[in-house]
Amino acid sequence: MPPSLTSFTDDALIAFDNLADRATSLVNPTIRLGVTGLSRSGKTVFISSLVHNLLNGGRLPLFEPVQSGRVSAVRLEQQPDDAVPRFQYEDHIRALVKDRIWPDSTRAISELRITLEYQSASGWNRLFSPGRLSIDIVDYPGEWLLDLPLLAKDYRTFSEETLALAETGVRAELSRDWLTMARSADVSAAADEMRARDLAISFTDYLRACKSDERSLSTLPPGRFLLPGDLDGSPALTFAPLVPPSEGSSLRGSLWAMMERRYEAYKSVVVKPFFREHFARLDRQIVLIDALQAINRGPETVQDLERALSDVLACFRPGTNSFFSAFLGRRIDRVLVAATKADHLHHESHDRLEILTRRLVERAIERIGMSGAGIDVMALASIRATREATVKNDGHMLPVIVGTPMDQEKINGEVFDGLRKTAIFPGDLPDNPKWLFEALDGSPDKARLPDLNVVRFRPPQLDETGGVTLSIPHIRLDRAMQFLLGDRLA
């Protein structure tokens, strides 16, 4: 993170926290893995499946420490941070496996520690005591990550950029009421609490409309406006962008001054503590995205996803830690961007989803002028809710996926009850995503959007034989684990 985003005091506190973490890690080796994602990308499902597969001997052929038999024990342990809520793994697994319902979305930060005992891959190291690694999984909403760039922006810049974005594409319709109110506000008038509240409510309604299933837009800071928690109704969440006054205007005691003060308070009491206490202490990070939903919504939603990825990746500092920086300013040296819900496509399109996502990430990296070192991309399904089959259609064999649609899910006019399975043709992604990026680069008339059937399926039913607990099926979860954790278990 560029130095301008934090004060000297912040840097000192971050250094102190890192020193404490490293000192503890000398006794109990630990890696802190951040898990976040953009709207409805499946953060809770990813963590639950990862932990369940480790605890229950899941099929993880690409996770070398498990595949080679070097991992001898896996157990959940008490997390080190008593002030952070525990990730309720047991509740989420009960919902997924027993009730076959998807858990609620992440709305706050939580943490879980899982410890692995293993034999080193090095014959020399095996002469000493067995290895042990604790993985502290830190789950937090993607909206919080998208707030970090605000630390480098003053209120004027934030207002200018937010107003400009609200006037583009479908946002112009969704923001109409708020923009009308914002443009009519007299920024030089005396501060008015009711006026500030009305503007904040209208602005929040606009952000919620952008996030709705019908739109699925991703760039939506400030994130706490959508996830207020115990700050709901506080002055730090009662502000909105305004049309900036001319430079040099005297605005003491004005509506503009009130909003500016509250914006700065939002950064001080919401964004900085998250950065200092949690984000700056991470070692590895996975960012989950629902690229399929964005593709299904059209070029504008994909463009917004790319914009959000640019903001997200700008928050990271991929690179290798030196010994000194590991203590005082450690870096997130591996970042994985994963397109989820690969099980909603036939396997022939999995590589195409990965290629498309990789190009989105490359464009985001180019946009912010950073190196792609330490960043990887893949398509996965944390929990595989479907299986593949073929059906005969007009004399041709058609690849389909089979699963149980959620209750009230509608497919071709038929409403399902959440109990009956069905087979659907999910559609294909193109071999070359050129059509999509032509649209993103300003040629929407050339866009040839794929006809995808994005269906909401229930979690799979796991048959238990002889009381044996079966692991949750997945797609490439083991590959993600190898990238994020494999080197620390060598």
Q: What are the 10-residue block averages of pLDDT along the chain, 490 residues in total?
A: 51 56 65 91 96 95 96 95 95 94 89 96 62 96 93 95 96 97 95 97 97 90 92 94 85 94 96 93 95 87 91 72 43 92 93 93 87 90 95 85 95 92 90 74 61 90 66 96 96
CA distances 3 to 264, 267, 318, 346, Å, are 18, 16, 15, 45
How would you classify the pairing of strands 396-403 and 387-393?
A: antiparallel
Specify the pLDDT at position 118.
Answer: 95
- Global pTM exceeds 0.75: yes
Specify the pLDDT at position 321.
Answer: 43
User: For residue 63, which amino acid is it?
Assistant: F
Helix (H, G, I), strand (E, B) or coil at 104: coil
Where exactly does CATH 3.40.50.300 map onto the chain? Answer: 3-140+278-383+475-489
Give pLDDT tens digits for 111-130: 999 999 999 877 655 555 57
Contact 219, 207 (CB under 8 A): no
- Two tokens, residue 230: 């115990």
> Domain 3-140+278-383+475-489, what fold?
Rossmann fold (3.40.50)
Specify the pLDDT at position 462.
Answer: 87
Specify the pLDDT at position 443.
Answer: 61
Specify the pLDDT at position 106.
Answer: 80
- CB neighbours (10 Å) of residue 379? 27
How would you classify the pairing of strands 396-403 and 110-118?
A: unpaired
Specify the pLDDT at position 316.
Answer: 82
Q: What is the mean pLDDT of the chain?
A: 87
Contact 303, 440 (CB under 8 A): yes
Specify the pLDDT at position 146.
Answer: 93
CA distance linking residue 205 with residue 199, whole number of Å = 10
Terminal CA-CA length for the chain: 29
CA distance linking residue 113 with residue 133, whole number of Å = 10
DSSP 441-475: TT-GGG----------BPPPPPPPSTTPPPPPP-B
Specify the pLDDT at position 13.
Answer: 57
Contact 110, 86 (CB under 8 A): yes
Specify the pLDDT at position 32.
Answer: 96
Specify the pLDDT at position 434.
Answer: 76
Specify the pLDDT at position 343.
Answer: 96
Strands in 87-214 per DSSP E: 110-118, 131-139
Contact 368, 314 (CB under 8 A): yes
Give pLDDT tens digits for 309-339: 999 998 885 444 443 344 345 578 899 999 9
Specify the pLDDT at position 446.
Answer: 54
